[in-house]
Each structure stands twice: as C-alpha cells, then as structure tokens.
Amino acid sequence: MSGFLDRADGGRRLAARLQHLRGRDVVVLGIPRGGVPVAFEVARSLGAPLDVVVVRKLGVPWHPELAMGAIGEGGYRVLDRALVARAGVDATELAAVERRERQVLDERVARLRRGRGPVDLSGRVAVVVDDGIATGATARVACEVARHLGAERVVLAVPVAPADSLRAVTEADDVVCVETPDPFLAVGNHYRDFGATSDEEVVALLDRAERAPSSHDTAVPPVDADVAIRLGTVVLEGHLHVPAQPRGMVVFAHGSGSSRHSPRNQYVASVLQQAGLGTLLLDLLTSEEERDRRNVFDIGLLAERVAGAASWLQDRPETADLPIGLFGASTGAAAALWAATESPRPIGAVVSRGGRPDLAGARLPLVAAPTLLIVGSRDSEVLRLNQRARAQLRCPSRLAVVEGAGHLFEEPGTLARAAVLARDWFVEELGGGGRPLAPARREAG
C-alpha cells in the first residue's frame, strides 16, 4: 500500500518498524499536534510512556508555510541560514517571527501539559515522532530538545518524508521512516485523511496513554504455535499467533479445511499481526469431513465451530480478556456472521473477504457486531449477493469494493488492499483507538 489512511494508520505501520526497541527503556515523544496520534500508536505498541515535545516552525514572513527554522522548549533554535539568506530575511524580521512563535510555544506547553510534568528522559531512549517531515527543521529541533533533556539515545521516527530531508537530520542517532516517495510534494498528500488535530485531541490521547499500563511486566507471553482444539468429539487443527501486547484476536473461518494453510489467509493474518492483533487460523472441517462437499455448505455446523473456537480462546490465559473478531472467506463468511449471533463470547467485529454472507440467511438481521464486507469489483455475482445480504443487516456495516479484484483477489495489489481494509476495521472496532476511519459507515463503490 502506498500512502496512509490516516495518522493512526501511519502510527501502526511505523510501530511495526520499531519493534526492535521493545523492552528498551523508551519514551515516545509526539510533536504536536499531528504527530501525537502517530506517537500514540507507537507508544502503545512498544508499551512505552507517551509525552510531547513542543516545537514551532519559523516561517518566512511573507511565506509562512516555508520553514526557515524552528524553535523548541528550553530555548533551542535551528535555522536554515542558507534559506534565510536566499529569502532576504533580516535580523529584525527574524527576531519578530521568533518572538511571536515563542509566545505561541509557551502557551501551547501550558495548554497541553495542564499541570502534567514532562516525562524524565535521563538515560533513556527518546523516540521523536511526527506525522511526516518536509524540510526537517522541526524534527531536528525536537531531537535536540530531547537530547538536552537527558536522552541517552534519540530516534526520529516518521511515516513519510523525502529521503534528502532524512539524511539532513544529523541530530538523531537513528532515523526510521516507512515511506520516502519521490516526488514528495507535501506530507498531507500521502494521507487519505489528513484532517487537523486539535489540542483537545492531543490532551485526550495523553490522558489515555497515561491511564494505560506501560510496564513490560504486564505483557502476556507471546505465542506462535500449531494448536489442536477439541470441540466435543472433533479435534480441529489451527495455528495461534498472540503478540506480546495484543489488542485483540481474530479467528479465521473458511468453509473448507484449507484455512491455516491458505497463502491468502496467511498473508492477511501477517498484516493483522503487524498491527498488534493476534490471529487463529483454523480448519473448520477435518480432512475426512471435507471430502463430503455438503459439509462446506453446512453453515450451522461451521458456525458452531467458529463459536466454539471463540470460547476456546476465552479459556486460555493469553487471550481470555481480549476482544474477538471474525474473518470469513467463502462460506466461512456466513459461518462467521451466524456465529456472531450465538457465540457465548461477544464478538466485536466481523470481516468477509469475497465471502457468501447471504448464506447466513435469517441470521443476518440478528448480527450485532460491526461488519465489513469486502468484494472484488470483477466478482459481479458475489458482489450482488453481498449487496443483498448487507441490506438485511441491522448492525453498523460497510461494503468495500476493491477495484480490479476477482473472486480470489489474485490481481496485483488487490489482496494487499483487502488486508488493509480488514486490518483497520478490526483495529477500530476492537477498541484499537485512534480516530474512526472517515468512510467507516458508508458503502464504498
């Protein structure tokens, strides 16, 4: 995927690049305002405290969007002296800009911190996060401020930036960036939703991060293993992946016995795992049962086993308290929806990829879990069936049409787009935080 859905998406994808810092004595510093939603996702993924590092851009007086430098807490300042000279900004004009921005900076510090003291950086790793950089002036000041406040090591981390600006950030010991597009244009061009972040949102995220456990002692032991699930007289085979700090679990349901070995399911699972979600790839039928084609369309039987798998997760210490989502393909989509209506464990979200939700029949109006139906634009018959099924749902729902995709999403890039749609639906609906996706309740295509 090129570009980001929103800042939360950028933060989750950035966090995946920073997992080598897990377990280190890390503090994540978001640059207000837009950098804080990104930093919030990084801090949560790393189990680290979140704080802000407040800096202000110094704009050319007659072209304020063009940064000639930046200032930060502690009296720090960095200037692009070559740009100042080219723009013809004299000392009096520069002083006036800095005086005005310093006042704004001091007011913002008081407004955002609201009596909360800064997190002590002494001897720690400071990860400075923004939603992207253009010239890099603001980020460079932020890195200097972190160093001045005692950070032993400074890492600059952003979702997007031009490569030459990254090379110019010599104030950081390490620089991590997800995408370096060429041409770059502007940071906002690389986000689908780049709406303004308010001070109130920043304060709310800081409050949420402060309430959340940040100690690594609270992390559950990670699991990545084949499992056998006994449901009555039947033993189903699956593969369980639970990250160290999971934000939820997703059970994969497929009508045939190919679920845990399916390359498509494995790929989607890997995308979910990068966002901090645990996964259970499960064969709903035994190899013997699969030989009888009628079992593939026995939605009641499949749904009973999906619900049983959700209960099995509830009995495991690693997953007992986690919200659960269901991902269904083919007839497994109908089974997931049916299971959501009768599972003893509440289901937080359902996603269908190229599935047959219509086969859930009279169960559709009973589904309470927010449901995302993903269909390829070239899969015309299944698209029609999904439209009909969605009309019967009473829960929050969305139909997302992936352009150029056929039934199996084998066309280049189409499976990746479907996986990203699923990932963000589960992250949002299972309580992953961040702002809701802009189109989350509207039909697409």
Same-domain pairing of 108 and 212: yes
* pLDDT in the model for residue 303: 93
Answer whether 422's CB lies under 8 Å from 339's CB. no
Task: Output the six-digit token pair for 417.
Answer: 């787009």
Provide, for the chain, the percentages of residues in helix, strand and coil under a 3-state DSSP scheme, each rounded to the nearest 5: 40, 25, 35
Domain span holding position 287: 221-429
* pLDDT in the model for residue 176: 95
Task: Output the six-digit token pair for 123.
Answer: 């001897």
Same-domain pairing of 345 and 258: yes
Amino acid at site 336: A
Strands of the sheet with 324-329, listed across from one edge: 223-231, 234-242, 278-282, 249-254, 324-329, 347-353, 371-376, 397-402
Q: Which of 213, 234, 337, 224 has the alpha carbon at shortest distance from 279?
A: 224
Same-domain pairing of 230 and 204: no
Same-domain pairing of 28 and 168: yes
* pLDDT in the model for residue 157: 97
Q: Which residues of the chain have pLDDT under 70?
A: 1-2, 212-221, 255-259, 431-445
The answer as to whether 247 is a domain residue is: yes
Q: What is the pTM of this model?
A: 0.53
Same-domain pairing of 300 and 361: yes
* pLDDT in the model for residue 279: 96
Same-domain pairing of 86 and 72: yes
Residue bearing tokens 């995709």? 405
* pLDDT in the model for residue 431: 63
Same-domain pairing of 100 and 199: yes
The rounded distance, in Å, linking the Cα atoms of 295 and 255 is 8
* Through-space distance between the first and last CA atoms of the chain, rounded to whole angstroms: 19
Same-domain pairing of 87 and 206: yes
Same-domain pairing of 329 and 309: yes
* CATH assignment of the domain containing 40: 3.40.50.2020
* CATH assignment of the domain containing 397: 3.40.50.1820
Task: Output the six-digit token pair for 429.
Answer: 């609906």
The answer as to whether 61 is a domain residue is: yes
Same-domain pairing of 265 and 358: yes
**For the CA atoms of 245, 251, 257, 262, what is the dihedral angle to 10 degrees?**
-60
Q: Regarding beta strands 174-179 and 223-231, do their DSSP bridges make them parallel or antiparallel, or are they unpaired?
A: unpaired
**Domains contained in the chain, number:** 2
Angle between helices 263-274 and 7-16 (to 10 degrees): 100
Please identify, among 185, 217, 249, the residue that sits at the C-terminal boundary of a domain: 217
Same-domain pairing of 169 and 194: yes
Task: From residue 137, give the alpha-carbon distance in Å to each of 91, 105, 181, 378.
Answer: 19, 16, 19, 47
Q: Regarding beta strands 371-376 and 397-402, do their DSSP bridges make them parallel or antiparallel, or are they unpaired?
A: parallel
